[in-house]
Amino acid sequence: MKQNGKAVYDAKSRQMAEQMILAEKRQLARQSEEDCDCKDGMFPSQPTPSRRGLLFAAGSVVGVIGAASIARAEPRKAPPGATFYDVAEDPTKEQGRPVAGDGGYGTRSQFETEVRVRYPTPNENTSWSFTPLSAMLGNTTPSGLHFERHHAGIPTIDPARHNLLIHGMVKNPLTFSVADIKRMPSVTRKHFIECSGNGLTEWNKPTLKTVQATHGLLSTSEWTGVQFSTFARETGLSDGAAWVLAEGADAAVMTRSIPLEKMLKDALIVYGQNGEAIRPEQGYPLRLLLPGYEGNTHIKWLRRLQVSDKPFMTREETSKYTDLLGNGKARMFSLDMDAKSVITFPSGDMKLPGPGFYNIGGLAWSGRGRIQSVDVSTDAGKTWYPARLESTPEPMCTVRFSFPWMWDGKVAVLQSRCMDETGYVQPTLKQLIAIRGDNGPFGSVYHLNAIQSWAINEAGEVSNVHA
Amino acid sequence: MSMLRTIFSCMIGLCVSTGVNAQSIVDHFGFGKTPAPQDMAKYFAIPPSGAGLPPGSGTGKAGADIFAENCAACHGDKLQGNPAVGLGGDRLIGGRGSLASKTPIKTVESYWPYSTTLFDYVKRAMPFNAPGSLTDDQVYSLVAYILSEAKIVKPTDVMNADTLPKVVMPNRDGFIPDSRPELELYR
- What is the pLDDT tens value at each position of chain A, 467 positions in all? 334 434 444 555 566 666 777 777 776 666 655 443 333 334 333 333 333 333 333 333 333 333 444 444 455 789 999 999 999 999 999 999 999 999 999 999 999 999 999 999 999 999 999 999 999 999 999 999 999 999 999 999 999 999 999 999 999 999 999 999 999 999 999 999 999 999 999 999 999 999 999 999 999 999 999 999 999 999 999 999 999 999 999 999 999 999 999 999 999 999 999 999 999 999 999 999 999 999 999 999 999 999 999 999 999 999 999 999 999 999 999 999 999 999 999 999 999 999 999 999 999 999 999 999 999 999 999 999 999 999 999 999 999 999 999 999 999 999 999 999 999 999 999 999 999 999 999 999 999 999 999 999 999 999 999 99
B79 and B155 in a single domain? The answer is yes
Domain count, chain B: 2
Q: Which of A180, A312, A322 is facing B47, going by the closest CB pair? A: A312
- A329, A372, A374, A418: best mutation site toward chain B, by most B Cβ within 10 Å? A329
CATH of domain A340-465: 2.60.40.650
| Residue B7 falls inside a structural domain | yes
Q: Do domains A118-331 and A340-465 have the same CATH topology?
A: no
Give a yes or no: residue B49 inside a domain.
Answer: no
Cβ distance of B112 and A422 shorter than 8 Å = no
Residue among B43, B85, B102 minimizing CB distance to A7: B102
Q: Are residues B70 and B151 in the same domain?
A: yes
Q: Nearest chain A Cα to B45, which residue? A: A312
Do B78 and B119 reside in the same domain of the chain? yes
Which of A1, A228, A230, A319 would best serve as a mutation to test chain B binding (most B beta carbons within 10 A)? A319
B98 in a domain, yes or no?
yes
With an 8 Å Cβ cutoff, are B47 and A335 in contact? no
Q: Is B4 on the interface with A (CB under 8 A)?
A: no
Contact A175 B39 (CB under 8 A): yes
- Roughly how many angstroms between the first and final C-alpha of chain A, as a whole number? 24
- Both B97 and B13 in one domain: the answer is no
Whether B182 is covered by a domain: the verdict is: no
**pTM for the whole structure:** 0.89
Question: Which one-letter amino acid corresponds to residue A188?
Answer: T
Do B61 and B139 reside in the same domain of the chain?
Answer: yes
Q: What residue segments make up the domains of chain A, in order of their start?
A: 2-77, 118-331, 340-465
**B14 and B94 inside one domain:** no
Between helices B136-149 and B60-70, what is the axis angle to 10°? 100
Residue B129 lies in a domain: yes
Topology classification of domain A118-331: Sulfite Oxidase; Chain A, domain 2 (3.90.420)
How many whole angstroms separate alpha carbon A328 and alpha carbon A437? 9
Domain check: are B62 and B116 in the same one? yes
Helices B136-149 and B115-125: crossing angle in degrees, nearest 10, is 130
| Residue B162 domain-assigned (yes or no) | yes
A403 neighbors A393 (Cβ within 8 angstroms): no
A318–B181 C-beta distance less than 8 A: no
Chain B, 131 to 150: residues with Cβ < 8 Å from chain A are 131-132
**Cβ–Cβ below 8 Å for A423 and B45:** no
B116 and B150, same structural domain? yes
pLDDT of residue B13: 45
Is residue B130 in a domain?
yes
| Phi-psi region at B18: left, alpha or beta (left = phi > 0; alpha = psi -120 to 50) | alpha
Q: What ipTM does this complex have?
A: 0.88
Beta strands in A315-355 (DSSP E): 323-324, 330-332, 340-345
Co-location of B63 and B38 in the same domain? no
User: In this structure, are B82 and B33 located in the same domain?
Assistant: no
Contact check, Cβ <8 Å, A328/B174 = yes
Shared-domain flag, residues B38 and B15? yes
Decide if A454 contacts A346 (C-beta within 8 A). yes
Residues of chain B with Cβ-Cβ distance to A12 below 8 Å are 81, 83
Q: Which domain range does residue B123 map to?
A: 57-166
Residues 54-83 of B with CB under 8 A from A: 81, 83
Residues B72 and B131 in one domain: yes
Other beta carbons less than 10 A from residue A94's beta carbon: 9
